[in-house]
Structure 1
Amino acid sequence: MNQGGVATANGGSVGVQIQRSPRLPDFLQSVNLKYVKLGYHYLISNLLTLCFIPLIAVISIDVSQMNINDLHQLWVHLKFNLLSITICSAILVFGLTVYVMTRPRPVYLVDYSCYRAPDHLKASYARFMKHSRLTGDFDESSLEFQRKILERSGLGQETYFPKAMHDIPPTPSMAAAREEAEEVMFGALDILLKNTNVNPKDIGILVVNCSLFNPTPSLSAMIVNKYKLRGNIRSYNLGGMGCSAGVIAVDLAKDLLQVHRNTYAVVLSTENITQNWYFGNNKSMLIPNCLFRVGGSALLLSNKSKDSQRAKYKLIHVVRTHRGADDKAFRCVYQEQDDAGKTGVSLSKDLMAIAGVALKTNITTLGPLVLPISEQLLFFSTLLVKKLFNATVKPYIPDFKLAFDHFCIHAGGRAVIDELEKNLQLLPIHVEASRMTLHRFGNTSSSSIWYELSYIEAKGRMRKRNRVWQIAFGSGFKCNSAVWEALRNVKPSSNGPWEDCIDNYPVKIST
C-alpha cells in the first residue's frame, strides 16, 4: 500500500496519508454522508418549487369546483372595473418596456483563436541552457538556478521563444519586439477572421492588452493599420496590468457593448518577451525567463441577438479584485533595475500568500453570484457560529464544483495551479487543462486561460449549458474572474493550438 499519498493522473500526489484500510462501517458512513449532502443540496435548490406544488394543487381544486354562476359573477365584476384593468395593463406594458430597454444586453463570445508559433522557434531545456551559457551574461550560480527552475516548472520541451532570443548572442531591439508582436497579434487575428467570416469593417470596438511592451504608435494602432479598420472604431491599449489583463480587457469590451448597439468587439491578449528578457544574476528576476513563452489570443465578442445562434459562449459574470492599496501586494511583481542596472521583473517571496488573499476576496464576491443557495447557507451558518460563539470552527470552503463544470486557472506556474487545486478542493481533471497548457505552451501571460479553454474543447468535454470559470492573477496585485456559459456542445475551431497534438495529452508531469 502506498503510505505517502495517492498518485494522480499528472504524476504528482495529493497529501493524504493512508494509515490503514477503512473498515466497512467507516465506508458505509462516508457513503451515507455523501448521499445526505447530495439530498440536502437537491432539497434546498428545489425548495421554491416544492413549496409551490401544494399551492398550485389548492388553486387547481378551487378552480375545478367553480360553477357557471361563479364565472359569470367574476366576468360582471371585471366589466364594471374596466378602467382599473386598463390602467393596470398600461402600467404593466410600460414597466415591461422600460425593463427590456434598460436591461443589460447579453454579450456573446462568437469564437476565439490562439496563436501557435512555428516549430523552428521551439525551446527545449537543453537549448535554453545552451543559449543562456553562450550569452555570457549569467554566472554559474544563476545558470544552475535556472536549470532547477526549468526542471520543476511543469513546462515541457516544446514551448516557444521569439526569434531574437534564438540568436547567439540574443538580438533584442525595438524592431525585433515589433516583429514578435506583429507575428502573434496578426497570426491570432487572421485565424479568428477566417473562422468567423467577419469583415474587419464591421468591428466597432478593439481592446488590446500587453503588459510590458507599449510602443508608439500603440499595438492597437498597429492592428487598425494592418486590417484597415474603420475610422470611428473605439480602440484601447492596456499596458502594465499583468497576466490578469485579459479578463480586464473582456470587462472593458463588455461595458462598451452595453453602450454601442449591434456591433462586434475584438479583444486581443498577448505579452512580449523580446525586449523584456533579463540578462542579470538577480535570482528573483530570473524566474520569468524560465516561465514566460510566446503566445496570444484573439476574441470576437458580439451584442447582436442573431449571433446567439452561432456563438460558443455567453458572458455571465466578471469579478475583479485589486489589492494595490497594500504595499506588499503592490510590489510583489515589480519591474525594476538590479544593482548592475539591468532591467527585469522581480517576483517577491510573498507572492503566493498575497495571491491567496486576493483569491479569497475575489471568491467572496463571486460566490453569492454563482453558488447554489445550499452552499451559501452552509458558508453563512459557519461564519455566524464563529462570529457569535467565538468557536474554533474552520471556515467552510464552498464547493465550487457545484457551480462550475470547467476551470481555467491561469498557467502562471506549477505552484499557482497546485495551490488553487488544494484551496478550492478540485480534482486532477479540473486542473488538467491548466497543467497541460503550462506543459505545452508555458506561461503565455493573459492569453493562457484561452489555451486552456481550447484544450477542454479539443478533448470534447464542453457540453451545452456547461459553465466555465476563468481565473487569473496579475501584477498590482489583481485577481480577476470571468464566468462563461456554453450555448451549445462546443467543438474546437479549425487551426486551433491543440489541433495536431491533443491525442498526446494529458502527459505525466515529473515531480
Structure 2
Amino acid sequence: MDGSGATQMNGGSNGGAVGVHRFQHTRRLPDFLQSVNLKYVKLGYHYLISYLLTLCFIPLIAIISVEVSQMNVDDIRQIWLHLQYNLVSIIICFAFLVFGLTVFIMTRPRPVYLLDYSCYRPGDHLKAPFDRFMEHSRLTGDFDESSLEFQRKILERSGLGEETYVPEAMHFLPPRPSMAAARDEAEQVMFGALDNLFANTNINPKDIGILVVNCSLFNPTPSLSAMIVNKYKLRGNIRSFNLGGMGCSAGVIAVDLAKDLLQVHRNTYAVVVSTENITQNWYFGNKKSMLIPNCLFRVGGSAVLLSNKGKDRRRAKYKLVHVVRTHRGADDKAFRCVYQEQDGDGKTGVSLSKDLMAIAGGALKTNITTLDFKLAFEHFCIHAGGRAVIDELEKNLQLLPVHVEASRMTLHRFGNTSSSSIWYELAYMEAKGRMRKGNRVWQIAFGSGFKCNSAVWEALQNVKPSRNGPWEDCIDKYPVKIIS
C-alpha cells in the first residue's frame, strides 16, 4: 500500500477543454527551447519515430519509379533474359526473403488489446461518511484523543468525499477483522468485478488462458487466483499468478506480466484482477505515520480483459503501447518509505515516511526519462494515492486542471483503492465522453518498494462507458469542488 494525504497543498480543480498536453522536462531541455511552444516539435518527433520505416522506403520507391520510367522496351527485354539465365539465384533469393519474412512475423511483438474492464462498486451500506468514521473510531476505544484529532485533520485534507466505502467488518463494534471476513471482502470485490466483466464481454471463462491477480497485503492459502479459478471453474491448464506485497503500482506490474505471457501463448485471453484488502490491515494503534492509511484506503477493485487475437482489434477499446517500470528498492530510504511493521505495542500497520513525496518524485523522473517524455498524451490517470500525490504531479508535470480531474474525482468518490484506482479514473473519462479514437492515456502509479510504474494505452475507437460502470449513477454530479 502507499498513500500520502497528510500534506495540504494546492486544493482541487475543475473542468477545462481537453487537448493534447505539452508537458516539459525543463531540466533536460536547453534554455533557448523553454521559451518556445514545443507542441508541434514534440508531435513531429512522435510521428517521425512512429513512421520512420515508412519514411525511409519513400525515397527508395521514388528512385526505382524514376529508373523504371526511363527504361525502353529493349532494356526491359535484356533484364528479363538476364533473370531467365539466373533462375537458381532468383529462387534462392526468394527463399531467403520468405524465410526472413516468416521469422519477422513470428518474432515481432504481438499487439495486446484491451477488450473491456470493470470496476467494483460496493453497496451503499458500506459507505463511511466522515462523522460516522470518526464516531466509530472513538467508540472502538483503540485511539487516544491525539490520534482521533490527527485522523480528523487527515480526513479534512485528504480530498476524500462522504461516499467512500470501508469493508463490512469495520462497521461492527468492536470491529471483526477475521480471516473469514477478509476472504468475504476479497470475494465480494473480485467476483463483483469479474461477474460484470464477463456479462459485458460475453466471454466464456473457460476461454481464459492467463490469470494474474495482485493484492499487496492479503495473501491467503489457497491464493486469491485459486479462489477465482474455483469460482468460475477455469480450465486446468490456465497460467495463473498471484502477486503480493507490491503496493499500489502492482496493477501496472500485473498488466506487464500479462503482456509478456500474451507474447508467448498464442490466440488466448488474459484477465488481470487488481485489488487491496482492508479487513485485516486496519491499524488500531496510535502511531501517527501508521494512522494515515486508515483515512485514505477504501474498498475497490478492477478486472481487465486482454487479448492477443488479431480479430479482437475491431471490438477492443484500447491497444497497449508502452509499459515502463522503475524500481528504487536498492536505496534504503526508498525501500522503507512505505513499510509494514509493528508499533511499540505490537500492533501491525503500514508506516508512511515523511520522505515519501521526495522519493516518489525521484522515481517519477526516472520513469519519464525511460518512457520518452516527448510523446503526447491527451489523458492522464494518476494514481489516487492522496491529495498531496495529485498536487505534486500536477505541479511538477505542469498539468492543466482537466488533466488531473479524473484523479481528484476518483479520490473524492472512491478514496484510495490502491492498484485499481487508475481504472476508476479511466472509467471517469469514458463516462464523461472524453476518450476519442487515437487518444493516448498515461496511467501512472506509485507503490511500496519503492516503485513507479506506468502504462500507455491508445484508444481504438470513440470509447463509451460499459454497462454498470462505477460512475453510472453519479457522473452528472462531477466534477465537484474540493474544499481547501
TM-score scaled by structure 1?
0.84
Aligned partner of 2:386 among 413, 416, 419: 413
Confirm whether residue 10 of structure 1 aligns to residue 14 of structure 2.
Answer: yes
What's the CA shift for 1:62?
4.8
Q: Which whole-Å deviations, capped at 9, do the CAs of 1:290-337 have from their partners, x for residues lacking one?
A: 000000000111122222221111112211111111111111000111
Q: How does 1:254-269 map onto structure 2 within 5 Å?
A: 254-269=259-274
Higher alpha-carbon deviation: 62-71 or 115-124: 62-71
Query: Based on CA coordinates, which of the two structures has the bigger radius of gyration?
Result: 1
Work out which of the residue numbers 90, 95, 99 in structure 1 matches 2:95.
90
Q: Given the alignment of the two structures, is residue 108 of structure 1 paired with residue 81 of structure 2, yes or no?
A: no
What is the alpha-carbon distance in structure 2 between the residues aligned to residue 239 and residue 149 of structure 1? 27
Deviation at 1:72, TM superposition (A): 2.9
Amino acid at match of 1:426: L
Displacement of 1:79 in angstroms is 3.2
Q: Which amino acid aligns with 1:449?
A: I
Contact 2:158/2:296 (8 A) holds in 1: yes
1:200 aligns with 2:205: yes
Q: What is the distance in 1 between the residues matched to 2:137 and 2:189?
A: 24
The 1:204/1:428 distance shift into structure 2, 3 A limit, reads same
Partners of 2:211 and 2:329 lie apart in 1 by: 27
Q: Residue 329 of structure 1 is aligned with which of 327, 334, 344? A: 334
Cα deviation digits, residues 75-114 of structure 1 (max 9, x gap) = 3333333333222211111100011112222221111100
The answer to whether residue 133 in structure 2 is matched with residue 128 in structure 1 is: yes
State the alpha-carbon separation in 2 of the partners of residues 198 and 159 from structure 1: 31
**Change in CA separation of 1:360 and 1:39 when aligned onto 2, cut-off 3 Å:** closer
CA distance change for structure 1 residues 42 and 358 in 2, over 3 Å: closer, same or farther? closer
Cα distance change of structure 1 residues 107 and 338 upon mapping to structure 2, 3 Å threshold:
same
Structure 2: where are the runs of 5+ without partners? 1-9, 16-32
Give deviations 1:41-87, integer Å, cap 9, x for gaps: 56656777889878766665554443333333333333333333222
**Secondary structure at 2:200 match in 1:** helix
Task: Name the residue aligned to 2:468.
Answer: 495
Indicate the residue corresponding to 1:189 in structure 2: 194
CA offsets per residue over residues 346-373 of structure 1, 9 Å max, x none? Answer: 0000001111111111112111xxx5xx
| Aligned counterpart for 1:351 among listed residues 338, 356, 376 | 356
Q: 1:337-396: per-residue Cα shift (whole Å, max 9, x none)?
A: 1111111100000001111111111112111xxx5xxx4xxxxxxxxxxxxxxxxxxxxx
State the alpha-carbon separation in 1 of the partners of residues 272 and 47 from structure 2.
Answer: 39
Tell me which residue corresponds to 1:241.
246
Residue 242 (structure 1) shift: 0.5
Aligned partner letter, 1:320: R
- Measure, in 1, the Cα distance between the counterparts of 2:233 and 2:46: 51
Give the aligned partner of residue 445 of structure 1. Answer: 418
Report the 3-state secondary structure (helix = DSSP H, G, I; strand = E; otherwise coil) of the residue aligned with 2:319.
Answer: strand
- Report the counterpart of residue 18 of structure 2 in structure 1: none
Relative contact order higher in (CA < 8 Å, ≥ 6 apart):
2
TM-score, normalization by structure 2: 0.89
Of 215, 218, 239 in structure 2, the residue corresponding to residue 213 of structure 1 is 218
CA shift at 1:174, angstroms? Answer: 1.1
CA displacement at 1:198 relative to structure 2: 1.2
Stretch of structure 1 that moved more, 183-192 or 298-307: 298-307
* C-alpha separation in 2, matches of 1:454 and 1:436: 11
| Structure 1 stretches lacking a partner, 5+ long | 1-5, 12-29, 376-401
Percent sequence identity over aligned pairs: 83
Residues 75, 456 of structure 1: CA spacing in aligned structure 2 closer, same or farther, 3 A cutoff? same
Q: 1:194 to 1:43 in 2, by over 3 A?
A: closer
Counterpart residue type for residue 14 of structure 2:
N
CA distance in 2, matches of 1:105, 1:507: 41
- How far is the alpha carbon of 1:234 from its aligned partner? 1.6
For 2:14 and 2:44, locate their aligned partners in 1 and report how far apart those are by CA, in whole Å.
Answer: 36
Aligned equivalent of 1:280, options 285, 290, 306 = 285
Q: Is structure 2 residue 346 aligned with structure 1 residue 341? A: yes
- Return closer, same or farther for 1:334/1:440 CA change in 2, 3 Å cut-off: same
How far has the Cα of 1:488 moved from its partner?
1.3
- Further displaced range: 76-85 or 445-454: 76-85
Q: Which secondary structure does the structure 2 equivalent of 1:318 belong to?
A: strand
Distance of 1:143 and 1:499 partners within structure 2: 35
Kindly report the root-mean-square deviation, in angstroms, between the aligned alpha carbons of the 2 structures: 2.5
- Equivalence for 1:455: 428
